[in-house]
Amino acid sequence: MNSTSSALNQLEQLKKLTTVVADTGDFERMQVFQPQDATTNPSLILKAAQQSNYQALVQSVKDAHPGMSSTDLVDYILVAFGLEILKIVPGRVSTEVDARLSFDTKATVAKAKHIISLYESHGIDRKRILIKLAGTWEGIAAAKELEAAGIHCNMTLLFSLVQAAACGAANAKLISPFVGRITDWNKAKLGANWNDASHGGANDPGVTSVKTIFTYYKHFGITTEIMGASFRNTSQILELAGCDLLTISPELLAELQSSTAPVCKKLDGASAHAEKLSPLKLDESSFRLQLNNDAMATEKLAEGIRNFCIDTEKLEALLAK
């Protein structure tokens, strides 16, 4: 295991092993951490839009589009926050397509192209935008079409190897396996039988899920980037040091910044070729069956889409005021 100098704080050490991404819509707060990229979602933008320091930004978007429906305004708000974030990060921002389109490939493609056109109208190169899509069969089909058109996608709400494999087959630019939510489900399932000592650290279910995907991708030479997401603690983050990217909340970024304990590389693509792996069957019926047979992935995917739909509607209500 190669570790980096403990004179540096953990965030600085981690940045030497993994691309660090800020997971927030609060762009004023992310500056201090100097992330390479940033990710947003409807819940994070809703949270930011309700903060007093962003009222002027929200109002300026509304003033620029008088009479526009709140549904249409949402895209302009997402892009407005994205544009501010792009002034801070040198890399990319992820902007999410309306979660209510998660089962409609054609509408998802149209919405993604609309969001890209809004960014491009402000002189932003599409290479700096990742369109976030749910890891449904329809979302993955949309990603395949968008990637072929030069629009890069970040596949989100990803909880299983079959979702990851299908995203790789679709040539999606990036996937975001949701570490914390996988752990939440397993913790709830085990209840009193959950034990932090035996179910945490390297054995954390969310961590092992990403390790499995990482091994599969490196074994089969899949070039889609892997970005661990939805962390509950710094232990989960540090267990995935060496992953392509990790997107981290400001709270956990601050925690990493305040510690100088050594950080070791935990994921290494070289070892992935040693394992004997069989490729998964990825036609539509095989995909749906494998996803269906994974209770955790099925439940968390459905719940995630539901909650993003709710927060998109809350954002619309906020804009309609």
pLDDT tens for each residue of 143-201: 999 999 999 999 999 999 999 999 999 999 999 999 999 999 999 999 999 999 999 99
State the Cα–Cα distance between residues 88 and 96, nearest whole angstrom.
19
Give 269's pLDDT tier (boundaries 50, 70, 90): confident
Say whether pLDDT at 3 is over 90: no
Say whether pLDDT at 83 is over 60: yes
Q: Give the end-to-end CA distance of the chain in Å, rounded to a whole number.
A: 55
Extract the runs of DSSP E, i.e. beta strands, from the chain.
19-23, 37-39, 93-96, 129-134, 153-158, 174-177, 225-228, 245-248
8 A C-beta contact, residue 273 and residue 218: yes
Q: Which of 175, 185, 267, 275 is nearest to 227 (CA)?
A: 175
State the Cα–Cα distance between residues 296 and 80, nearest whole angstrom.
35
Exposed/middle/buried for residue 313 (C-beta within 10 Å: 0-12, 13-18, 19+):
middle
pLDDT of residue 295: 98
The superfamily (CATH) of domain 10-320 is: Aldolase class I (3.20.20.70)
- Angle between helix axes 70-86 and 55-64 (nearest 10 degrees) is 130
CA 30 to chain CA mean position, Å:
16
Count how many Cα atoms sit within 13 Å of the Cα of residue 251 in the half-sphere of its side chain.
Answer: 4
16 given a catalytic annotation: no
pLDDT of residue 5: 59
CA 301 to chain CA mean position, Å:
13
User: Which of the 8 DSSP states describes residue 112?
Assistant: H
In 3-state terms, what secondary structure has residue 1?
coil
pLDDT of residue 270: 77
pLDDT of residue 2: 66
Give 103's pLDDT tier (boundaries 50, 70, 90): very high
Q: What average pLDDT score do residues 257-263 get?
A: 97
Active site residue: 15, 111, 132, 187, which one?
132
Using a CB cutoff of 8 Å and minimum separation of 24, what contacts does 109-115 make?
A: 109/142, 109/145, 109/146, 111/75, 112/142, 112/146, 112/151, 112/153, 113/146, 113/149, 113/151, 114/75, 115/75, 115/78, 115/79
Token pair 């909650």 is found at: 307
pLDDT of residue 276: 84
Count how many Cα atoms sit within 13 Å of the Cα of residue 145 in the half-sphere of its side chain.
Answer: 17
State the Cα–Cα distance between residues 213 and 219, nearest whole angstrom.
10
Provide the mean pLDDT of the chain: 96
Say whether pLDDT at 227 is over 60: yes
Residues in a beta bridge with 97: none
State the Cα–Cα distance between residues 58 and 80, nearest whole angstrom.
8
8 A C-beta contact, residue 93 and residue 85: yes
